[in-house]
């Protein structure tokens, strides 16, 4: 147990924090009503929680709001008007832009004016496929301002992945860039968009932000440079912030599930706003003088909730860095922390492990004394990485907030508070107002210390409302195994002190470097290669990535296994799904273990690869 004393959080002492936790446990709905009252609403709610039709919970029904009003508009009338909202640094280290709340408002108005002129309005879907540059934030906020629904796709996904997601969301506009910088090289975003929307029945316009500057193809009718559009008179002036219902959709975000196509997680304005505001405030003790750095990309939920919306809702100063941690040298992040005086730093275990490998000398060259709090998210953090982060980066002074949550939950669900004693590797306790159960297969709570299925008991405001266009899959995936309770898809145990230890996924989702991938997606990309007849993908433990993909491939007649073919298949995955999905190993095999009904038994493949007992094989086909 690490119980180094942290000064009292700005919202109250350790005792007050625990009193608030107890009060929230006694009356979760009251807790959320009080938090919501800290924000501004155009019209008040009739009901805080409408639970008349579970699991389709609604929050703040009857209320009118807009998340952008609370992220930007309300700050313009107060002391934060000229405070920095965003500090951005380019990968090359010399590009640098800052935005106060005042100038962020100008940028968002401009973007909103432009997309409104293109016919985007309330309820319309817009796909955003941008690098980590300020325009990704402007684009998300511009959509929200108009009541349009954004669908951000991580700018590392391939054209095929774009096609699936753009078609499914029925986006009429795509906002992209000519390219993105990845370790000094250009990743050709615009070319990928061109390929991805070639046959799109819905996309009418593409806006292209100039970032990398190489020549790109521009379709005269469909494609528009953003800088040309903002030079037009229509871009000037204020664009009204739409008054939307609290339950109106804010965004959809695609994430991987156990089976089939990615799931479109749907979040709404009101509840998501209250949830991300509150969780960031209490977990990271946001203070006026903070410089908050969340290293996540806006293409993932962490970037949505804690790089874009959460910090702005709290009137904080967010830091955004275009590049990665090791380019050109492994001191890049530490250098930025020192130079910009970062106070609160939120990153992923895989990044910590990869930086740890380069040794202590890199961080030790920098003055990291501005840091006050650290955070971790994406997968369980192993105690060695936790200790290194704590000792070498936090100098033993900075508590680590290990936050467990999901694209679905929208906000932290299990996490410590800064004033509570920490256990390396444990994500602490359920957030205020939440209750967690660890159940066995039959739905009975397991004893302390035993592993079981992680289940959330209470509805909470930032929880997904449904899967876009698929209520049935929503109910089946999350609410059917234990009716009335939310099945997270993870296994966990609780210790005698009430601390939770998340172990990992229990389904066919693999966390690779914190990125969420489904075996089904990887397998379908594998079999799209002409040489591949059948394929199975599993995740195996990896020192840096947490898990790495191991693919088993049955070749079509006429193809022979070879090193070269394996390399070609790996490249195929990279191009047809994403570089993050590239298998580390490819094994050619004659046959895959299957059940008699033809389902691949990945469990058996995994046990074999790890040299473990293969378990019950009675259902194996032969
Ligand atoms: C899955 C959700 C939500 C932020 C990014 C990931 C794993 C996430 C932790 C943590 C142990 C964690 C779980 C979860 N996970 N954070 N602190 N400790 N596991 O969102 O891509 O929707 O993935 O990530 O397995 O179910 P996501």
Contact assessment for residue 334 and residue 363, using Cβ atoms and an 8 Å cutoff? yes
The reply to whether ligand 1 has any atom less than 6 angstroms from the CB of 130 is no
Structure tokens at 11: 């919202």
Alpha carbon of 359 to ligand 1 centroid (Å):
27
Phi, psi angle pair for 521, to nearest 5°: -65, -45
Give mean pLDDT, residues 69-79: 97
Structure tokens at 341: 């005086």
The reply to whether ligand 1 has any atom less than 6 angstroms from the CB of 263 is no
Give mean pLDDT, residues 72-95: 97
Instruction: Look at residue 409 in the predicted model and tell me its pLDDT.
Output: 98
pLDDT tens digits, 407-418: 999 999 999 999
Q: Which atom of ligand 1 is nearest to the CA of 504?
A: 25
- The pLDDT-based confidence of 259 (bands split at 50, 70, 90) is confident
Q: Where are the beta strands (DSSP E) in 66-140?
A: 84-89, 96-100, 125-129
Q: Is the pLDDT of residue 266 over 80?
A: yes
**262: Cα separation from own chain's centroid:** 14
Kindly report the pTM of this predicted structure.
Answer: 0.96
Give mean pLDDT, residues 330-355: 98
The reply to whether ligand 1 has any atom less than 6 angstroms from the CB of 380 is yes
Give mean pLDDT, residues 144-161: 97
Pocket test for ligand 1, best of 376, 405, 509, 512 (most atoms within 8 A of CB): 405
CA distance 57 to 34: 19
Q: Which atom of ligand 1 is nearest to the CA of 414?
A: 17
Alpha carbon of 267 to ligand 1 centroid (Å):
17
User: Within a 13 Å sphere around the CA of 428, how many CA atoms are in the beta-carbon half?
Assistant: 29
Between strands 429-430 and 414-415, the pairing is: antiparallel
Q: Is the pLDDT of residue 301 over 80?
A: yes
The reply to whether ligand 1 has any atom less than 6 angstroms from the CB of 309 is no
Instruction: Look at residue 4 in the predicted model and tell me its pLDDT.
Output: 65
The reply to whether ligand 1 has any atom less than 6 angstroms from the CB of 405 is yes
Nearest of 32, 82, 83 to residue 61 by alpha carbon: 32
Mean pLDDT of the chain: 96
Q: Does a cis peptide bond (omega within 30 degrees of 0) precede residue 55?
A: yes
Q: Where are the beta strands (DSSP E) in 41-83?
A: 47-50, 58-61, 64-65
Instruction: Look at residue 618 in the predicted model and tell me its pLDDT.
Output: 78
Alpha carbon of 451 to ligand 1 centroid (Å):
17
CA distance 19 to 13: 10
- The pLDDT-based confidence of 621 (bands split at 50, 70, 90) is confident
Instruction: Look at residue 616 in the predicted model and tell me its pLDDT.
Output: 79
End-to-end, the C-alpha distance of the chain in Å comes to: 50
Give mean pLDDT, residues 196-219: 98
Q: Which atom of ligand 1 is nearest to the CA of 509?
A: 25
pLDDT tens digits, 560-615: 999 999 999 999 999 999 999 999 999 999 999 998 888 899 999 999 999 998 88
């Amino acid at each position: 147990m690490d119980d180094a004393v942290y000064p009292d959080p700005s919202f109250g002492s350790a005792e007050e924090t625990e009193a608030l936790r107890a009060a929230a446990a006694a009356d979760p709905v009251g807790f959320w009503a009080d938090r919501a009252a800290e924000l501004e609403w155009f019209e008040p709610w009739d009901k805080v929680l409408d639970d008349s039709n579970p699991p389709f919970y609604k929050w703040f029904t009857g209320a009118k709001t807009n998340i952008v009003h609370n992220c930007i508009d309300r700050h313009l009338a107060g002391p934060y008007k000229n405070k920095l909202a965003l500090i951005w640094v380019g990968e090359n280290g010399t590009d640098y832009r800052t935005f106060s709340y005042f100038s962020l408002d100008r940028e968002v108005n401009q973007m909103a004016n432009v997309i409104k002129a293109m016919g985007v309005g309330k309820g319309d879907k817009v796909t955003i496929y941008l690098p980590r540059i300020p325009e990704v934030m402007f684009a998300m906020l511009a959509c929200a301002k108009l009541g349009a629904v954004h669908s951000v796709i991580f700018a590392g996904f391939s054209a095929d992945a774009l096609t699936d997601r753009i078609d499914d969301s029925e986006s009429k506009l795509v906002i992209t860039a000519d390219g993105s910088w990845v370790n000094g090289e250009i990743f050709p975003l615009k070319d990928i968009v061109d390929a991805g929307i070639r046959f799109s029945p819905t996309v009418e316009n593409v806006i292209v932000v100039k970032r990398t500057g190489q020549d790109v193809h521009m379709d005269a009718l469909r494609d528009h440079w953003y800088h040309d559009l903002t030079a037009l008179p229509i871009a000037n002036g204020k664009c009204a912030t739409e008054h939307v219902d609290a339950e109106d959709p804010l965004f959809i975000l695609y994430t991987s599930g156990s089976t089939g196509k990615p799931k479109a997680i749907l979040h709404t304005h009101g509840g998501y706003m209250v949830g991300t505001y509150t969780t960031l405030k209490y977990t990271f003790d946001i203070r006026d003088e903070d410089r908050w750095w969340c290293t996540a990309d806006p293409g993932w939920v962490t970037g949505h909730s804690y790089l874009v919306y959460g910090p702005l809702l709290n009137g904080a100063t967010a830091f955004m860095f275009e590049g990665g941690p090791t380019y050109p040298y492994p001191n890049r992040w530490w250098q930025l922390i020192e130079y910009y005086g970062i106070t609160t730093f939120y990153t992923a275990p895989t990044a910590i492990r990869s930086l740890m490998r380069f040794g202590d000398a890199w961080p030790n060259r920098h003055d990291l004394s501005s840091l006050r709090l650290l955070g971790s998210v994406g997968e369980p953090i192993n105690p060695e990485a936790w200790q290194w982060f704590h000792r070498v980066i936090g100098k033993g002074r900075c508590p680590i907030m290990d936050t467990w949550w999901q694209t679905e939950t929208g906000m932290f669900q299990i996490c410590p508070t800064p004033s509570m004693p920490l256990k390396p590797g444990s994500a602490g306790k359920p957030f205020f107002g939440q209750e967690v159960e660890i159940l066995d297969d039959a739905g009975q709570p397991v004893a302390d210390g035993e592993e079981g299925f992680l289940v959330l008991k209470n509805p909470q405001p930032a929880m997904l409302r449904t899967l876009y266009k698929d209520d049935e899959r929503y109910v089946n995936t999350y609410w059917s195994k234990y009716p009335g309770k939310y099945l997270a898809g993870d296994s966990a145990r609780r210790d005698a002190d009430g601390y939770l230890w998340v172990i990992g996924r229990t389904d066919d989702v693999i966390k690779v470097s914190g990125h969420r991938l489904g075996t089904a997606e990887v397998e379908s990309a594998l079999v799209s290669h002409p040489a591949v007849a059948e394929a199975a993908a599993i995740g195996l433990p990896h020192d840096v990535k947490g898990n790495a993909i191991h693919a088993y491939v049955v070749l079509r007649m006429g193809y022979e296994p070879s090193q070269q073919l394996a390399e070609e298949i790996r490249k195929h995955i990279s191009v047809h799904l994403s570089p993050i999905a590239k298998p580390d190993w490819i094994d050619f095999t004659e046959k895959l273990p299957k059940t008699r009904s033809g389902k691949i038994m990945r469990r058996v493949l995994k046990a074999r690869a790890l040299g473990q007992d293969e378990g019950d094989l009675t259902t194996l086909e032969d």
